[in-house]
Amino acid sequence: MKGAVFLDRDGVLVREIVLDGEARAPLRLEDFFIVDDAASQVERLHQAGFRCVVFTNQPEVARGLLSQPTLDEMHRRLSEATAVDEILVCPHVDSDGCGCRKPRPGMLLEAARRADIDLRDSFVVGDRWRDVDAGRAVGCYSILIDRPYSNCSTADASVPDLTSAVNVILARGEAPPE
């Protein structure tokens, strides 16, 4: 088993859209911008031996606000730009009661099962309480990229940006060898 870094998409790897103090996911390709240091930070994690997995709630799909082909193209661009190992998506809304919608840890558990990931040796990087709670539910070390909308005080570490989050991960030690 090996460790991984689970990265939220919007507000971590992709520039968040904030309207009236609330973060929103981009719904159009022209609003989808990967943060400047995303590729270099994923590369740092890969060099340290970590598998990098994006895990993202995208309820806009269930609400009919985001088409599956547009979401697929966003994720193709993200994968190409950052070389993340996998992108997991929960397309449901809270009322669906699925186990994959954060703060439930279903996406983390599925990734761990498929790729033989030790969740106790893994990290979650997110910008909201939902990301942190999902990680904490399975024993991951949780790092919050603190934003005005984060509403979270339970993260193991709080940082201002992705580079700082990666610095925390690397300071805690490299991933165990495969």
Helical (H) or strand (E) element with 43: helix 38-47
Query: What's CA 47's distance to the chain center, in Å?
Result: 19
> Both tokens of residue 122?
């893994």
Q: Which residue has the tokens 């904030």?
A: 18
Q: Are the CB atoms for 121 and 129 separated by under 8 Å?
A: no
Give the chain's radius of gyration (CA, Å): 15
> Which residues partner with 51 through β-bridges?
4
Q: Are the CB atoms for 142 and 135 separated by under 8 Å?
A: yes
From the number of C-beta atoms within 10 Å of its C-beta (0-12, 13-18, 19+), residue 87 rates as buried
Catalytic residues: 8, 10
Biggest alpha carbon–alpha carbon distance for the chain:
45
